[in-house]
Structure formats: C-alpha cells, structure tokens
C-alpha cells in the first residue's frame, strides 16, 4: 500500500490543478487593459452527433484546450458550444465581445438560480477608422462583484473555423483594438504585399500591352497567369480587412481555383512560347496532360472543399496534387531545357524551378505553424514566401520575353535592311536598264541617221557634184528632181525620228492621228480610193516611243507592199481601240500566192518581227485581195 502522506500530497496537487483550471476559465473583466484575447480561457463542448440543443449542452462537461486550437478541421460537421464565464472587480460594467472574422453565433445568458438560458439580442457592428469597416461585436453587461455565465452556440464552418479569435474589450478601446490586434501584427506583411503587388501589376500591364501589339497567344496566356496570381495575393491581403462571412466563403475557391488557374496558364504559355505542338509533339502531349489533369482535379475537388465533412480531405488532396503537379512540371522543364539547349529555355526553367522551390518552402512553413501564429500572430510569412517565388518566376519570364522581343526586333531590323538593300539593288538595276535603254536608243538613232539620213545626204552631194560638172544649160532636170526627192525623204525620216522621240506623243490618240495623217499623205499621189475608220472615243492610253515606232514601221511596210505589189484600187483601214489596239488593212488587189511570195517575203517578215518585239501579232490573209490584221496589247492608265 502507498504511504498515507504520499496519497494526501497527490490529492492536494490534483485539487490545486482543478482549482487553477477553474480560476483560469473565469475572466476578470476588471483586470482588462484595453482588450484581452480570451481563446485560452474559454471552455468548449462539441456535439458530434448534432442532436443536442443548447439547453441540453449546458449539462455537458465543457473543457479548456489550453495551447491547442479548439476546433478540429477534420471534424467540423458538429455543433460547437462555448462557455464564457466572467467576473467584474472593476468599475465599468459594459464590455464588448469579439468572436473573430466571419463568425456567426447565438449568445445566451445563463441564470444559475433557475438554471435557464436567455437568448440575447446583443450583436451589433461598430465602425472602425483604421480599416474603414464595420467590425462585429456583442454587448456584455457585467455588474461589479458578480459572476456572469454566457453560452455561445457557434456556427463553425469550412470557411471560418480558423478565423475564430475571441477577445473582450472596453468600448472606448475599439479603434486601438482593431489597430493593435488586427493590423499592427500584419504591417510587415501588408507593406511587403503592396510592394510586390505593385511590381506584379506593372509586369502584368507590360505583358498585356505586348499582347495588344502582337496578338500572340503566349502573351495572352502569361497575362492571364499573372492576373490569376495577382488576384490571389490581392484577395489574401484583403482578408485582414474583411469581416463578413460572405467574403470569406470564397476562401477555398480562391485558394485552389486561382492558384491552379495560374499554373494552367503558365503551362499554356510555355507550350505556346516554344511552339511545342509543332516543334516537339511528344513533349506537347505531356504538357497538355498536365493542363487537363488540373482542370479535372479542380472540378472534382472544389465540391469537397466546400463541405464540413470533407473539407480536410479536400485540402489534403489539393496539397498532394499540387506537389505532384509541381514535381511533374520540374521534370518536363528539365526535358525542355535538354532538348532546346538555348537561353530562353534555360532562363524559363530557372524561373520555374525557383518558384516551385519557394512554393514548397511556403507550404512547409504553413504546415509547421502552431495555432498561435496562425490565429493571433502573423500568418502572412508563408504567403510572402510563395509570392516571392511567383515574383521571381515573373522576373525570369520577363527576361525571356524581353530577349524574345529583342531577337524579333533584330530580325525585323535585319529584314528591313535586307529589304532596303534589295530595293536599292532593284533601283540600281532599273537605273542601269534606263541607261542601257537610253544608250540603245542613241545607238539606234545614230544608226538610222547614218543609214537613212547619211546615205541621203551622200546622194544629194553626188548629184550636186554631177550637176556642177555639167554646163548650166546642160544641167539635167533629172538630177535636180532626185535631189528634191531625196531631200523630201530625208525630211520625212527626220520628222519620224523626232515624232518617235517626243514623249508628248506617247498616247494612243496621238498615235492614231499621226498614222491617219501618214496614210493619207502616202496614198495621195496614187489613184487609190482610201477609206479610213477611226473610233470616236479614244481613251488616253499610254503608248511609249518604242511601241509607236514599231507600229509606224509595220504600217509603212504594209502600205509599201500595197502600192508596190497589190495593183489595188481600193484600200480600207480600220482602227480599233478596246482591250487591244488593232489596225486592219485590206485591199482589193491581186492578192498573193503563198507559194510565190519571194518578191515581198522580207516585207512580211519585217512586219511580223516588229509586232513580235512589242508583244503583238500579225495575221495576213489572201481573200479577194490582201488583209493584214495588226493587234497590239496596250497598258491602261491606273485610273
């Protein structure tokens, strides 16, 4: 048997512990200094059967959780009851009770003399300057020297269980409480987040501006990825200023949807940036599988995260799935770097790996936090680590995008330089062609002047010498006529050359008018009836000197053959100017036998050759005379 003294000592210790626990669960409102957090001095009872009413729960044993958080996220599908025992040794008897953000509850006052509960209508919202919001409180009246007991039936759910943060304060300390308890602990987190969000927003705007200029899918995907992460971190930062349950109900939605959406658009950006569908179909299939897996997981897991029964397993599944996705992405990035072996793939891979490593550190830090830090302290450290990873990823990705833009800009500059060189080369060739054409025209003019005018002048000189050698009275009239005829021929030749060279004659109406005048003069000495048909409306179609000269010579050759060989008494000439310029010359002469055309074979050959030079055709037929059809394509004015 144990010694009697030992048993008494153990009993005293147990009684002392019980009394201490009981005294710690009683809150002395008179000793509050501004405000007091009371999560450790409340007692709790959880009805996992969901069958007890608040009257029945009063009879159950309430216990203190001490340094442990009172709510188990794996067992949220229950009814949660909280006991608040207060005494007042001070002067004021009015206090405010704050349960935490997004908290819904019913408060009852317990009358120990009758063992009954009275539902209190004591909840209200007070405006607080530091957060520009209305903070929810409940009014507590505790007269001096009395002990009061309150029971709270808390509506603990998947979106607010971790936000339970009870405190008691003097009414006049409202502003101080909100600033010191809700804002001051998160100042470093808030200021750092604002700075990071500003950098992310500038990058987002820059990338979106590039998309608006280029309309390339990769810039759209990365803009959407940055937008998803920006919204996620902005809403996480906004959590500390929002008290309404409606806002915090979307916590799991933004936690999963925005994070995985950012990952999906990052993967889509990588696929589009490197054109993997075209350049690496096998790697493209893996990236596509990664995207589809995240979409399917979101559609299946989000409903789990919005239920009190399955919240815990939905969050566990999300953490495991995210870890697998990031590991798979690291492997794919490594394969991408090995295959491409360029600066862009390496930089993008470094940014992705850095982001994944910091995400793992953030997750580890979040899981290792105790409830003191999560609820009362600064829970923003894991978020800042995660945000830093995303920001570094953006920096590396922006370097890749800037490198791609510089490369494209250099390619555009080189293309413009090559185009300029090509244009300069074409201009040089064009100028050279003009010079060659000018020299060729000069040579032609020199040749014609040498052949036609030179020979004519020589004939005139010889005839003049013959005339001088004879007696004046014996001067032959024949030589004088020859001199006159030769001079006329020379004048006509000179007029033709001048007419051909004059650019003012480079129109179709001038060409037809000149040909008509030439034909009339040519047939004037002969007894041949001439019929010429000219269109009434002739468009100002350009006809350059080369075309005019060849048409002129071809027509003169045809007229010469009529006068010399046809024995015709009638000649009909029709000009037509539609899509092509055509001249039809027909006579009623003896025609010709195709088997005996030696006498004017060269003339026909010259006509065909001149028409061929300018892209035209010549058709000669023999039917009750000779018909010659000349057709020449003409270039229309742009108007």
Class of domain 23-169: mainly beta
* pLDDT at residue 363 in the model: 83
- Position 461 confidence tier, pLDDT thresholds 50, 70, 90: low
Check pLDDT > 50 for residue 373.
no
Per-residue DSSP letter, 109: E
The pair of structure tokens assigned to 514 is: 């000149």
The average confidence (pLDDT) of the chain is 84
The C-alpha atoms of residue 449 and residue 497 are separated, in whole angstroms, by: 9
pLDDT value at 366 more than 50: yes
Whole-angstrom Cα distance, residue 83 to residue 149?
A: 7
For helices 343-368 and 259-273, what crossing angle results, to 10°?
A: 170
Model-level pTM?
A: 0.65
Backbone phi, psi, residue 409, to 5°: -65, -45
- If pLDDT is split at 50, 70 and 90, which confidence band does 464 have? low
DSSP-assigned beta bridge partners for residue 151: 83, 108
**Radius of gyration for the alpha carbons in the chain, expressed in angstroms and rounded:** 53
Span 68-109, pLDDT tens digits: 889 998 999 999 999 999 999 988 889 999 999 999 999 999
**Where in the chain are all domains bearing CATH 1.20.1070?**
185-418
Q: What average pLDDT does the segment 65-69 reach?
A: 87
Range with lowest mean pLDDT among 146-150, 391-395, 425-429: 425-429
DSSP string across 444-512: HHHHHIIIIIIHHHHHHHHHHHHHHHS-TTT--HHHHHHHHHHHHHHHHHHHHHHHHH-GGG-BHHHHH
The mean pLDDT value for 505-528 works out to 85
Q: What is the mean pLDDT of residues 250-265?
A: 91
Where is pLDDT greater, at 263 or 566? 263
CATH, range 185-418: 1.20.1070
Q: Are strands 43-47 and 26-28 parallel, antiparallel or unpaired?
A: unpaired
Is the pLDDT reported for residue 194 higher than 60?
yes
Pick the more confident residue, 37 or 132. 37
**pLDDT at residue 378 is higher than 70:** no
Confidence of residue 11 (pLDDT cuts 50, 70, 90): very low
Q: Note the pLDDT of residue 8.
A: 41
Torsion (CA) 126, 129, 130, 133 in degrees, nearest 10 = 50
Give all strands (DSSP E) within 527-600, no chain letters: 529-533, 570-577, 580-587
**Does the pLDDT value for residue 131 go beyond 50?**
yes
What does DSSP assign to residue 101? T
Selection from 274-278, 363-367, 462-466, 610-614 with the highest mean pLDDT: 274-278
Ranges for all domains in the chain classified under CATH 3.30.565.10? 504-633
How large is the average pLDDT for residues 404-433? 87
Query: Is the Cα dihedral 160, 166, 170, 174 positive or negative?
Result: negative
Q: Residues 101, 163: contact at Cβ < 8 Å?
A: yes
| Tokens, residue 43 | 């007692």
Tokens standing for residue 439: 């020299």
pLDDT at 250 over 90: no
Q: For residue range 545-575, what is the model confidence (pLDDT) as tens digits?
A: 788 888 888 888 888 888 888 888 899 999 9
Q: Diameter of the chain by CA atoms? A: 187
Please compute the mean of the pLDDT values over residues 417-431 and round it to a whole number: 88
CA nearest neighbour of 306 among 249, 245, 261, 231: 249
Confidence of residue 220 (pLDDT cuts 50, 70, 90): very high
Comparison of pLDDT for 620 and 492, the residue scoring more: 620
The pLDDT assigned to 254 comes to 84
Which one-letter DSSP state was computed for residue 242? -
The pLDDT value given to residue 22 = 44
| pLDDT at site 20 | 38
Structure tokens, 327 = 């590991």
pLDDT bin (cut points 50, 70, 90) of residue 43 is very high
Please write the tens of the pLDDT for every residue from 311-354: 989 989 998 999 999 999 999 999 999 998 888 899 999 999 99
Residues of the chain with CATH 2.60.40: 23-169
Per-residue model confidence (pLDDT) at position 289: 95
The predicted structure's pLDDT at residue 120: 94
Does the pLDDT at position 599 exceed 70?
Answer: no
Judged by average pLDDT, the poorest of 248-262, 296-310, 368-382, 565-579 is: 368-382
Q: Is the CATH number of domain 504-633 3.30.565.10?
A: yes
| Cα 550 to Cα 544: distance, rounded to the nearest angstrom | 11
pLDDT in the model for residue 480: 65
Q: What is the pLDDT of residues 600-610, one digit of tens each?
A: 567 778 888 88
Q: Average pLDDT in the 522-541 region?
A: 86
Which of these, 577, 482, 562, 568, lies nearest to 527 by C-alpha position?
Answer: 568
Q: Following DSSP, what letter does each residue of 63-86 receive, concatenated?
A: B--TTS-S--GGG-SSEEEEEEEE
The rounded distance, in Å, linking the Cα atoms of 156 and 308 is 9
């Amino acid at each position: 048997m144990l010694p009697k003294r030992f048993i008494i000592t153990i009993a005293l210790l147990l009684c002392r512990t019980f009394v201490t626990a009981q005294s710690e669960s009683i809150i002395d409102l008179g000793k509050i200094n501004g405000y007091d957090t009371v999560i450790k001095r409340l007692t709790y009872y959880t009805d996992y059967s969901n069958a007890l009413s608040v009257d029945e729960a009063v009879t159950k044993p309430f216990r203190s959780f001490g340094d442990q958080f009172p709510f188990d996220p794996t067992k949220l599908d229950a009814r949660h009851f909280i006991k608040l025992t207060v005494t007042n040794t001070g002067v004021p008897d009015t206090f405010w009770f704050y349960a935490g953000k997004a908290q819904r509850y019913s408060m009852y006052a317990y009358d120990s003399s009758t063992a009954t509960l009275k539902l209190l209508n004591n909840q209200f919202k007070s405006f607080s300057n530091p957060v520009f919001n209305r903070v929810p409180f409940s009014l507590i009246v505790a007269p001096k020297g009395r002990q009061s007991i309150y029971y709270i039936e808390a509506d603990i759910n998947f979106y607010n269980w971790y936000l339970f943060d009870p405190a008691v304060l003097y009414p006049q300390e409202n502003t101080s409480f909100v600033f010191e308890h809700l804002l001051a602990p998160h100042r470093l987190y808030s200021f750092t987040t604002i700075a990071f969000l500003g950098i992310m927003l500038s990058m987002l705007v820059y990338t979106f501006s590039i998309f608006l200029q280029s309309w390339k899918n990769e810039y759209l995907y990365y803009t959407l990825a940055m937008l998803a992460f920006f919204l996620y971190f902005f809403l996480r930062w906004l959590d500390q200023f929002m008290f309404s349950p409606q806002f915090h109900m979307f916590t799991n939605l933004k936690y999963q949807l925005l994070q995985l959406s950012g990952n999906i658009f990052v993967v889509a950006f990588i696929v589009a940036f490197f054109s993997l569908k075209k350049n690496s179909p096998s790697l493209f299939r893996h990236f596509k599988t990664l995207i589809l897996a995240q979409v399917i997981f979101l559609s299946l897991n989000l409903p789990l995260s919005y239920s009190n029964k399955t919240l815990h397993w939905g969050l566990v599944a999300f953490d495991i799935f995210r870890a697998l996705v990031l590991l798979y992405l690291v492997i794919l990035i490594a394969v991408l770097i090995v295959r491409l072996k360029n600066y862009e793939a390496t930089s993008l891979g470094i940014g992705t790996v850095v982001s994944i490593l910091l995400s793992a550190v953030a997750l580890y830090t979040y899981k290792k936090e105790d409830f003191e830090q999560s609820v009362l302290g600064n829970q923003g450290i894991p978020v800042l680590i995660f945000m830093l990873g995303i920001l570094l990823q953006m920096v590396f990705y922006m370097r890749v995008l800037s490198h791609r833009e510089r490369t494209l800009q250099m390619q555009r500059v080189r293309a413009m330089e090559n185009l300029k060189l090509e244009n300069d080369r074409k201009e040089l060739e064009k100028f050279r062609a003009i010079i060659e054409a000018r020299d060729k025209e000069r040579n032609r003019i020199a040749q014609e002047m040498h052949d036609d005018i030179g020979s004519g002048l020589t004939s005139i000189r010889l005839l003049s010498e013959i005339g001088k050698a004879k007696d004046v009275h014996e001067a032959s009239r024949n030589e004088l006529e020859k001199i006159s005829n030769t001079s006329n021929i020379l004048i006509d030749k000179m007029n033709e050359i001048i007419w051909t060279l004059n650019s003012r004659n480079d129109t179709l109406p001038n060409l037809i008018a000149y040909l008509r005048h030439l034909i009339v003069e040519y047939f004037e000495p002969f007894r041949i009836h001439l019929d010429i048909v000219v269109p009434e409306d002739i468009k100002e179609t350009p006809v350059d000197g080369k075309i005019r000269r060849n048409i002129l010579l071809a027509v003169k050759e045809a007229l010469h053959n009529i006068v010399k060989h046809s024995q015709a008494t009638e000649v009909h000439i029709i000009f037509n100017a539609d899509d092509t310029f055509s001249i039809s010359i027909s006579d009623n002469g003896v025609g010709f036998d195709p088997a005996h055309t030696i006498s004017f074979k060269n003339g026909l050959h010259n006509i065909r050759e001149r028409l061929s030079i300018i892209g035209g055709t010549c058709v000669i037929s023999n039917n009750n005379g000779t018909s010659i059809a000349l057709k020449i394509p003409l270039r229309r004015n742009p108007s």
